[in-house]
Structure 1
Amino acid sequence: MSILYAEREYKMSERLLQRCLRLAEAGEFTQYVVQCTRMLRNLYAEQRQAIPYKKVAKMLQRAQQLLVWEDEAEQLYRDTQLALSSTVAARRAVLALLPDRILQLEALHRRARSFTTYNMVYRVRIAYEELQGNYQELIRVTGAASRRLREGKLNARRFDLRFNHFMSIYAYLRSRQPVQGLRLAEEYSRDFHPSSNNWFYFQEHHVLLAMHAEQYERVQQLLGVIIKNPAYIIQREAALQRWDLYRAYLDFVLPPQRVTTSRQRHMAQWVLQLPEYSRDKRGHNVAILVLQLLYFLREHNLENVLLRLERLRKYQQRHLYEATTVRSRLFLRLLQLIVEKNFDAAQAAERGKALLLQLRETPPPGEAFAEVEIIPYEHLWDLVLGLLREGPPVANEPA
């Protein structure tokens, strides 16, 4: 268009600019609206077309003002985004600023009423509610966005529906509403193409929802579909190990006849080779140590049960000291009871009632790197007691 304009091809330039302007307005790309209207204004001025000149000059003035508001909103959002991707201390510092920042963004959106300003408010509010661990409000925010989209109040060309779906089911998972979240995950899964990385991220939360809802047959079906995806094998090593971790947990909750002995041996060998602490498995270290403990409880191996319990105790002392790790600490205290009560399931259950009640009343943390509960700790405690009822661990007899 610039070349045509420079060559004084006014008619063709005008047609292309008008077409570009319509597309920019439909997509609410204000910066392109400004560029198109500026060029049209100049074109009409050179042709001495007063009426279209005045009309497009007013459009340009409105678009320029809108762009100022959008730029201000985007600057606030990018400042927030940068702080949230930094250190834990930086995230906590920006957390205190977010309520005022959200008010500023909402004021800008009331002036602009554009998709860009709405999206900045929406993104910062989601970040704030997630950091707060306020998952019920996160459900409300994502639900409101879905309704606005259905009612035609959001730009369907610009709104990231898949991100909204993901945050919605994540909030249901973390707020301990897995049945409702699983129902939505089944509905939302059609919007994620199996060839994209987003599909694997979404399915990871889909699997966890099914785990938390105790729909283990569904977990088995989902894992079967996921593993058969041609892109499965090219995921990062850390992602592949997470999938193996989920499959290993599934081995403990499916009926024994559904899991082959060779499969058990293979998974047991893999689990026991995992390091007891690894930074690249941050958020899953407790899950790994507990899984190792479960294997040895099933094998009635006293020495290794005591060793894993000691490693859990040390891990708690070194890494689980923040307020966000209360649930993990409570569960590990429950596990220590099985030694105190000499591996007697009935006595451990009775002694752990108060801790279990406290665990049930403690909500999941809001921190992004909190320990992931592949199976809720409450369900794991039932599993541990069930293994003890099958027989306590015993010492290996000397050769």
Structure 2
Amino acid sequence: MTSRTTAALPMLDLRSKQASKERSFVEILRNAPEATQLQVAKGVYGKATPANLQALQKLQSRVQTKLLNQLYFLDHSDPRHLVSRRYELECLDLLHKVSILYAERDFKLSERLLLRCVRLAETGEFTQYLVQATRMLRNLYGEQRKPTPYKKVTKSLLRVQQQLAWEDEAEQLQTDIQLAASSTVAARRNLLATMPVRLAQLEALYRRGRSFSTYNALYRARLTHEELQGHFKEMIRVAAAAERHLQDGKLNARRFDLRFNHFVTIYAYLRSRQPVRGLLLAERYIRDFHPSSNNWFYFQEHYLLLALHAGRYELAQQLLDTVAKNPAILGQREAAMQRWDLYRSYVNFVLPAARALSARQRQLAQQMLLLPEYSRDKRGHNVAIMVLQLLHFLRERNLEPVLLRLERLRKYQQRHLTEPSTLRSRLFLRLLQVIMEKNFDPLKAAERGQSLLQQLRDTPPPGEAFAEVEIIPYENLWGIVLDLLREGPPVTAA
């Protein structure tokens, strides 16, 4: 086999200091990921001539192939990544090597590697790889005319194929649930109605399979069900029970994603209005997330909301700065970037007015003022956007835009907040109408809004199927509105 090695290894030595076109190309993209083709061609070849642009296309294809080959040598030992990844890739690595050895007719080494793969797949409960390795063993024994091991492994294959069928069915059910849960409000309402039946199906599959995959599908579906109903304290209990099972050795430590449990826990503390307790856990849990992963950003988003709900605005500012400095933020989706902009706009508003805003922050504030009163792509954040606009003009004491925003909020309530589950948002928007009814008098507005405020305090957050995101709790926002009115009522611009 050594005589058939390729002449040039299809790899990039990223640690090498030797100059080359390939290295120059990678460095340019690393330092300026948004560079145009003309800029890259000029950087690599000195000039952006037609011939150099054509050469750049070939260089790009060659580098891409070599970078893809680097995937075989990534280090997955960092515990802040998905714990199952390193064990799963061990199985895949063995199966890949066996495929080559089997084609080369090296049956002895193929058998040894396959038996090792079977052990690893059984330990990690990777049933799909166990099926592949067992099937290859069956074929190997058949080709070698070994009837005794052939019959034994054939019997094992039937068993693990049945196990895989149960796991595939559970995974399909769980995926269907997750897709519906992340879809429209109507889809989530329909999902909520069918969840008891789906949970019963998953429980039956778990009783049959008794594997990590069937357990995990059932576990995550249970969390989704509690979330949709707004049973956030129950989510905390379910997640804590799973972590105890892991510590007691009842769950496969090579498969259970503790980071997912961390996220579920702080999310549930946020939604159950326990931000102080959630902050204590978030400070500890964030260490288990790798900064390059999307999970790190998603966790930080809820860490930030916990800080805002606890009134820890300086901490929120620190978290925003930490996120902004992470180079991996360039890979975030546009919707996620817009959410971060909205959070930053709120933090900039509630921090002391003496804080000087950067040009970027002033630009963000202006963009928020121009957003429409309703946008489907910002579902769940429409009220937050319109309230932020209202707060801005209350601070500016500019009457006409204040009246315009109050009217927009009134119409939004009538059109989009009609369900019983939107009670918190409706109560808050009714409170905002009180300030206009009382001619922006803070004392009269506070007195008139007292009963509405108490109802708001007594109303728990709705389930995720129906939620408008409260970046700052409505109760706290009402206090901010009254404070702004105490500084002076809005007046007609001169």
TM-score (norm 1): 0.90
Structure-2 separation of matches of 1:51 and 1:221:
66
Aligned match of 1:338: 435
Task: For residue 258 of structure 1, give the secondary structure of its aligned residue in structure 2.
Answer: coil
Q: Report which stretch shifted further, 307-316 or 45-54.
A: 45-54
Alignment partner for residue 127 of structure 2, among 30, 44, 47? 30
Whether 2:321 is the aligned partner of 1:224: answer: yes
Structure-2 separation of matches of 1:332 and 1:105:
41
Alignment partner for residue 412 of structure 2, among 311, 315, 318? 315
Alpha carbons of structure 1 residues 301 and 90: separation in structure 2 relative to 1, 3 Å: closer
Whether 2:332 is the aligned partner of 1:235: answer: yes
Q: Report which stretch shifted further, 262-271 or 32-41.
A: 262-271
Aligned match of 1:73: 170
- TM-superposed CA distance for 1:115, in Å, is 0.7
Structure 1 segment 26-65 matched on structure 2, within 5 A: 26-41=123-138, 43-44=140-141, 52=149, 56-65=153-162
Structure 1 segment 1-399 matched on structure 2, within 5 A: 1=98, 4=101, 9-41=106-138, 43-44=140-141, 52=149, 56-84=153-181, 86-260=183-357, 266=363, 268-368=365-465, 370-397=467-494
- TM-superposed CA distance for 1:268, in Å, is 4.2
Aligned match of 2:25: none
For structure 1, the residue ranges without an aligned partner over 5 or more in a row are none
Structure-2 separation of matches of 1:82 and 1:292:
33
Structure-1 separation of matches of 2:133 and 2:338:
51
Q: Report which stretch shifted further, 279-288 or 77-86.
A: 77-86
Structure-2 separation of matches of 1:78 and 1:309:
41
Contact kept? 1:282, 1:369, Cα under 8 Å: no
Q: Report which stretch shifted further, 114-123 or 68-77.
A: 68-77
Cα RMSD for the two superposed structures = 2.6
AA in 1 matched with 2:297: F
Q: Report which stretch shifted further, 50-59 or 242-251.
A: 50-59
Kindly tell me the number of residue pairs found equivalent between the two proteins. Answer: 397
Q: Report which stretch shifted further, 56-65 or 222-231.
A: 56-65
Q: Deviations over 1:41-72 (max 9, x none)?
A: 45456667676556545533432332233233
- TM-superposed CA distance for 1:231, in Å, is 2.9
Contact kept? 2:313, 2:347, Cα under 8 Å: yes
Structure-2 separation of matches of 1:257 and 1:89:
45
Q: Deviations over 1:21-58 (max 9, x none)?
A: 11211221113223333443454566676765565455
- TM-superposed CA distance for 1:308, in Å, is 1.4
Contact kept? 1:210, 1:218, Cα under 8 Å: yes
- TM-superposed CA distance for 1:114, in Å, is 0.7
Contact kept? 1:77, 1:124, Cα under 8 Å: yes
AA in 2 matched with 1:308: R
Structure-2 separation of matches of 1:372 and 1:138:
18
Q: Report which stretch shifted further, 255-264 or 359-368.
A: 255-264
Contact kept? 1:21, 1:36, Cα under 8 Å: yes
Structure-1 separation of matches of 2:388 and 2:112:
66
Alpha carbons of structure 1 residues 264 and 388: separation in structure 2 relative to 1, 3 Å: farther
- TM-superposed CA distance for 1:270, in Å, is 3.3
Q: Deviations over 1:308-357 (max 9, x none)?
A: 11111112122222233211110010011111112121111111111111
Contact kept? 2:422, 2:466, Cα under 8 Å: no
Structure-2 separation of matches of 1:250 and 1:73:
42
Alpha carbons of structure 1 residues 236 and 46: separation in structure 2 relative to 1, 3 Å: closer
- TM-superposed CA distance for 1:383, in Å, is 0.7
Contact kept? 1:251, 1:259, Cα under 8 Å: no
Structure-2 separation of matches of 1:45 and 1:366:
56
- TM-superposed CA distance for 1:206, in Å, is 0.9
Q: Report which stretch shifted further, 173-182 or 68-77.
A: 68-77
Structure-1 separation of matches of 2:137 and 2:190:
46
Structure-2 separation of matches of 1:227 and 1:79:
34
Q: Deviations over 1:157-177 (max 9, x none)?
A: 323333332222221111111
Identity of aligned residues (%): 73
- TM-superposed CA distance for 1:76, in Å, is 2.9
Alpha carbons of structure 1 residues 313 and 244: separation in structure 2 relative to 1, 3 Å: same
Q: Deviations over 1:70-119 (max 9, x none)?
A: 23323433443454455543432332221122122223212322111111
Contact kept? 2:391, 2:481, Cα under 8 Å: yes
Structure-2 separation of matches of 1:304 and 1:164:
44
Contact kept? 1:324, 1:367, Cα under 8 Å: no
Alpha carbons of structure 1 residues 355 and 34: separation in structure 2 relative to 1, 3 Å: same
Contact kept? 2:272, 2:461, Cα under 8 Å: yes
- TM-superposed CA distance for 1:7, in Å, is 6.9
Contact kept? 2:189, 2:465, Cα under 8 Å: no
Task: For residue 256 of structure 1, give the secondary structure of its aligned residue in structure 2.
Answer: coil
